[in-house]
């Protein structure tokens, strides 16, 4: 269990740092980049939660989350290409 706490804390640190970048930007595209990194770390975080709770349903949540955020980032990038 200790290792799950350690891994969870490290993932939370990664999430906090990307969230900080998301907050300060400075450009919209920097926020999307931060969001992209945040998502991947969160997917791993969800897997750690699945391990901690022993519930495999979180793996499906992680998979769907990964899929939706990928689409979201692609759409956001398409939008940003037109200039800010």
Is 68 a binding residue for other proteins by CB under 8 A? The answer is no
Q: How far is CA 28 from CA 20, 21, 55, 75, in A?
A: 14, 11, 36, 13
Tell me which residues in 36-65 interact with other proteins (CB under 8 A). Answer: 36-38, 40-41, 43-44, 47-48, 50-51, 56, 59-60, 62-63
For residues 59 and 47, the answer to whether their CB atoms sit within 8 Å is yes
The minimum distance between CB 58 and other proteins, in angstroms, equals 10
| 42 closest CA partner among 13, 2, 71, 76 | 13
The footprint of other proteins (CB under 8 A) covers: 3-4, 6-11, 13-18, 20-21, 27, 29-30, 32-34, 36-38, 40-41, 43-44, 47-48, 50-51, 56, 59-60, 62-63, 66-67, 70, 73-74, 77-78, 80-84
């Amino acid at each position: 269990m200790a290792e799950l706490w350690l891994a969870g804390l490290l993932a939370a640190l990664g999430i906090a740092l990307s969230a900080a970048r998301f907050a300060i930007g400075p450009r919209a595209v920097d926020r999307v980049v931060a969001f992209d990194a945040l998502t991947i770390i969160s997917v791993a975080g969800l897997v750690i939660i699945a391990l901690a709770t022993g519930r495999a349903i979180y793996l499906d949540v992680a998979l769907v989350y990964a899929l939706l955020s990928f689409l979201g980032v692609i759409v956001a990038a398409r939008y940003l290409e037109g200039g800010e």
